[in-house]
Structure 1
Amino acid sequence: MPSLVLSDLSFSWPDGDPVLVGVDAVFPSGRTGLVGRNGAGKSTLLRLIAGRLTPDRGSVTVGGDLAYLRQDLTLDPTRTVDAVLGIDGQRQALHRIESGDGTEDDYATIGSHWDVEERALATLDRLGLAHVASDPADLDRTVGTLSGGETILLGLTAALLTEPDVLLLDEPTNNLDLAAKARLYEAVQRFAGIVVVVSHDRTLLDLMDTTAELRDGEIRFFGGNFTHYQQVIDAELESARAAVRDARNDVRRQGRELVEAQVKLDRRQRYAKKTESSIPKILAGKRKSEAQVSAGKLRGTHQEKLDDARRMLDEAQEALREDREIRIDLPDSVVHPGQRVVDVDATLRTGQQVEFAVTGPERIALVGRNGVGKTTLLREIVDAPPAVPWRVLPQRLDVFDESRTLAQNVADAAPHATDEQIRARLARFLFRGRGADVAAAALSGGERLRAALATVLLAEPAPRLLLLDEPTNNLDLPSVAHLTEALSQFRGAVIVISHDTAFLREIGITRWVELTESGLDEVDPL
């Protein structure tokens, strides 16, 4: 039987920041959705389970074969299709044998898989990827020639081809069109072993049997899907808020009682001083001593009650989730009605002839199936170039000098901004203190997107046209809400590629344009 067990698992980054602290967990059979805020360590946990990272302490025990779909699969455009499928070694051995240069090791590598290329092409065809590779030579294509969605499907195909017992999926629906998402949902539901899914896709998370939350370095399991998990959390939050209100009221009450007790003691002391001269000194001293002892006990009792009330308030506030959320302020860049923004007349590298114009503060959703050329069209728009200052958020998030820190990258995009301004802006995207000094290459998927947004939106001059390619990928749900609100208030023009129809509706799209193999068509809202 497949199994996945974590025992006393601990992991910290080289700077000492803990990610996991003594985690013990047994993942149940079936589908588990792993949720948590950006930066909580979800992708790190999957890498530890997959053996890509070494824990500081503890162990991971996997019963059966494991397959892992990485979140950053699209970040290396030089990888070939056969390398993603895991058959590059077999193909190389096969070609050496066919050319007469084969060795015993090559024959051992091939084993009985002499039809490896044919089987790979047939599998791609069954999964709707025949346009990616229909000939053995196509297996040498690089990821850089594919769309992000095609690359994710390719990685999923590779994972499923190994027939694993335990399957780890890190943001598997990123960049997928609606049809591809449907195929992935079906594949996940049909998988017979243990599936652990990190995702912000509500539809996918609601297909889960169990939800596991990673928070503050610990894992907590909830029976049921994401909707059930959210209901439990909402109820706990309401209870925690009520406990905080009660604890605050108790602190105020105990504080008032302590003050009132002190006032009474002061009155007694003033009265005792007035009567000292009318009674014998021995009796006056005894009364004074008894009064001091009584006053000390009274003050101590009320102080203890106040300290207890404050301690209860601290405990109640710890139970209240005060999760950090990004804050986005888009530049106040105005595009006036009738103002020319974009005018493109070109033949795309994918073969389509397109004429595309944007006038005024339009909000255009560019939709179409994976691989049809949407990202290519964005590149054509950039090359045109636009008639107003613009910024692009690319799907692959390759806007960084990977060797430089996040703060240095933002400084490159905004040379006139002070270091204080840069760090203040990064703090709004949750990169506080030392977080701004992390090398771009060390950022997780969610962190890369937040960092790319910060870099794009702080750039000089302030953009009046935003070109966004799958901007909600890797963002947690509260962050998507903040991005939605910011884009809704932006007064410039927006062209956005997204398969998140709810997000597109909420940002107020004014034109829906579908790119097909024959060109561009105006379509009704999805």
Structure 2
Amino acid sequence: MPSSVTCTSLSFAWPDGTSVLDGLDTAFPPGRTGLVGVNGSGKSTLLKLLAGDLTPSGGTVKVTGEVGHLPQNVTLDTALRVDQALGIAERRAALHAIEAGDVAEEHFEAVGDDWDVEERALVTLGELGLGRIGLDRTVGEVSGGESVLLRLAALLLRRPDVLLLDEPTNNLDLYARRRLYAAVTAWPGVLVVVSHDRELLDLVDQVAELRSGEVTWYGGNFSAYEEALAVEREAAGRTVRAAEADVRKQKRELADAQVKLARRKRYGQKMYDSKREPKIVMGARKRAAQESAGKHRILHEERLAEARERLDEAAEAVRDDDEIRVELPGTAVPPGRRVLTLEDLETAYGARVEGVLDLRGPERVALVGRNGAGKTTLLRTLAGELEPVAGEADVHVPLRFLPQRLDVLDDALTVAENVARFAPDATHNRVRARLARFLFRGARADQRAGTLSGGERFRACLAALMLAEPAPQLLLLDEPTNNLDMASVRQLTTALGSYGGALFVAGHDLPFLESVGITRWLLIEDGRLRETSAEEVGAAG
């Protein structure tokens, strides 16, 4: 029987009563499915329900076959050996004991039919680019990206029928991403992946969009999904325009009817006053006219209400495509102005800049390199959080740094209060007016930072830094697209398009880096920082 996952009347709510899913009916067929949706729509929660890590509030999840789940935040005990992290330590030890001549029954029971477990483990590690780490090293000796691949290797060795991946490319360098793409392409069973990585989502067979608690299916990969959305948006836009025209028409007809009724009323009153007909006839005519006028008015009001309802329905069908639009003239850097100078710099973990490296004007620099190469360390050194071991790192303009962990906000304060911390001289109205451009309007600006979703938190952090005083003319971003949905990535791209300062971005997301207009590529490799090109970076990945 082919593997499958079926959700029937599936509901889930958090202990505080917040509902995430209510009566969801859907099924994930064999093949590769990309699960997409805005931040906070419930994608990770749904994966945890499918994996059995969460218990539904109502309804059922039926899975045919074994499930393997790679969560968004992978944490492994750093003291574990690699074979323990892979879940094969007991079988491997039993196999070695048998090979050494110990024929105790428990060893054969531990091995079972898995006599090639060690070879399979080494092959799987090799396929994921982890062949060099072996089985006897500890998890603490591998990088964060390698630990993600190690967790994936453990799942592949288990050979589950259903594989659930939640943002698997987070923190993976380009080389590791290519390995993951190959594993996804070769997957034979049911695979459901949540990701903001376009390249990964273009490998899926179908896209399932989770929106407002319902799943809508689209055939084809992410590019086909975007094309389908464009058609939907255009159709929805036409419906809205037609509904708006109908509302205007009904308003005009209602106004015309009211004018005619007012004239008729004045004429009737005039006839009544002149007493040209018997009083009883005049009274009957007046009552009939009032009834007719009332029915006429009610008819037009009902038509207008129906037209407004159709407009509301049409507007609701249009997706929220709000974009961050900011004008920050204070961030602009004149061409040729020196922004950053690195001279014979050596950072805390050994990355070196030989000679002098200058950044001038509104350059947009991408910092790339393998996991563990020292990108974050370099950014923290430039931001003044770490002292250089040797050499100089001189920043000549106001600078702001947005780290991966997004810890620049005080969770106890509202979004508006957090932004005000960075711009203490700005008036309350000025702060709120600027926040509206970052899509925090009205009550949204009064949300406490601790209650924000991942995408909202990133947007609030970006607003706090870009609206800071003095205006930042150099912005440092460390893996900015991690944990962002595709809509948030588009919003970020738009915001950075409005930014007039210099940009220094560490990341592995090539499509995003290219979309923000990178003008210069720097590669950390073998402990050295050197100039490179987008073509070389793509080829190396």
TM class by smaller structure: 0.7 to 0.9
Range moving further from structure 2, 163-172 or 355-364: 355-364
2:513 paired residue among 495, 504, 514: 504
Q: State TM-score, norm by structure 1.
A: 0.83
Cα distance in 2 for residues equivalent to 1:454 and 1:47? 32
User: Is 2:264 aligned against 1:268?
Assistant: yes
- How many aligned residue pairs are there? 510
1:259 paired residue among 255, 266, 272: 255
CA deviations on 1:450-493 (whole Å, 9 max, x unpaired) are 45434544556543322222212233334323322332343333
Cα distance in 2 for residues equivalent to 1:35 and 1:229? 10
1:399 paired residue among 402, 407, 417: 407
Cα distance in 1 for residues equivalent to 2:262 and 2:410? 68
Query: Could you say if the C-alpha distance between residues 115 and 351 of structure 1 is closer, same or farther in structure 2, counting changes exceeding 3 Å?
Result: farther
CA positional deviation for 1:411:
6.6
CA positional deviation for 1:214:
0.5
Hey, what does 2:531 align to over in structure 1?
Answer: 522
User: Is 2:163 aligned against 1:167?
Assistant: yes
User: Is 2:246 aligned against 1:245?
Assistant: no
| Structure 1 segments unaligned to the other structure (5+ residues) | 99-103
Hey, what does 2:539 align to over in structure 1?
Answer: none
User: Is 2:9 aligned against 1:8?
Assistant: yes
Question: Could you tell me which amino acid in structure 2 is paired with residue 358 of structure 1?
Answer: D
Question: Could you tell me which amino acid in structure 2 is paired with residue 139 of structure 1?
Answer: T
Counterpart of 1:365 in 2: which secondary structure? strand
CA positional deviation for 1:176:
3.1
What is the identity percentage for the equivalent residue pairs of Structure 1 and Structure 2? 49
Contact 2:366–2:513 (Cα < 8 Å) also in 1? yes
Cα distance in 2 for residues equivalent to 1:359 and 1:455? 24
Counterpart of 2:138 in 1: which secondary structure? helix
Contact 1:89–1:109 (Cα < 8 Å) also in 2? no
Query: Could you say if the C-alpha distance between residues 295 and 486 of structure 1 is closer, same or farther in structure 2, counting changes exceeding 3 Å?
Result: closer
CA deviations on 1:91-122 (whole Å, 9 max, x unpaired) are 79969x99xxxxx9x98996668998887566
Q: State TM-score, norm by structure 2.
A: 0.81
Query: Could you say if the C-alpha distance between residues 500 and 330 of structure 1 is closer, same or farther in structure 2, counting changes exceeding 3 Å?
Result: farther
Counterpart of 1:278 in 2: which secondary structure? coil
Range moving further from structure 2, 121-130 or 491-500: 121-130
Cα distance in 2 for residues equivalent to 1:326 and 1:177? 28
Counterpart of 2:330 in 1: which secondary structure? coil
Query: Could you say if the C-alpha distance between residues 93 and 333 of structure 1 is closer, same or farther in structure 2, counting changes exceeding 3 Å?
Result: same
Counterpart of 1:483 in 2: which secondary structure? helix
| Structure 2 segments unaligned to the other structure (5+ residues) | 98-103, 536-541
User: Is 2:344 aligned against 1:357?
Assistant: no
CA positional deviation for 1:425:
6.3
Cα distance in 2 for residues equivalent to 1:169 and 1:64? 17
1:318 paired residue among 316, 319, 329: 316
RMSD: 3.9
CA positional deviation for 1:510:
2.8
Counterpart of 2:331 in 1: which secondary structure? coil
Query: Could you say if the C-alpha distance between residues 438 and 319 of structure 1 is closer, same or farther in structure 2, counting changes exceeding 3 Å?
Result: same
Contact 2:33–2:193 (Cα < 8 Å) also in 1? yes
Matching of residues 19-418 of structure 1 within 5 Å: 19-73=20-74, 79=78, 82=81, 86-87=85-86, 90=89, 120=121, 123-131=124-132, 133-134=133-134, 136=136, 138-141=137-140, 146-147=143-144, 149-276=145-272, 277-326=275-324, 332-335=330-333, 337-339=336-338, 341-348=340-347, 351-355=350-354, 357-361=357-361, 362-382=363-383, 383=386, 384=388, 386-387=394-395, 388-395=397-404, 397=405, 399=407, 404=412, 407=415, 410=418, 414=422, 416=424
Query: Could you say if the C-alpha distance between residues 58 and 268 of structure 1 is closer, same or farther in structure 2, counting changes exceeding 3 Å?
Result: same
CA positional deviation for 1:192:
1.0
Query: Could you say if the C-alpha distance between residues 428 and 167 of structure 1 is closer, same or farther in structure 2, counting changes exceeding 3 Å?
Result: farther
CA positional deviation for 1:206:
2.2
CA positional deviation for 1:198:
1.0
Counterpart of 1:371 in 2: which secondary structure? coil
Range moving further from structure 2, 38-47 or 451-460: 451-460
Counterpart of 1:72 in 2: which secondary structure? coil
Cα distance in 2 for residues equivalent to 1:434 and 1:14? 23
Matching of residues 472-511 of structure 1 within 5 Å: 472-511=481-520
Cα distance in 2 for residues equivalent to 1:509 and 1:466? 13
Cα distance in 2 for residues equivalent to 1:48 and 1:153? 23
CA positional deviation for 1:134:
3.8
Cα distance in 1 for residues equivalent to 2:491 and 2:43? 21
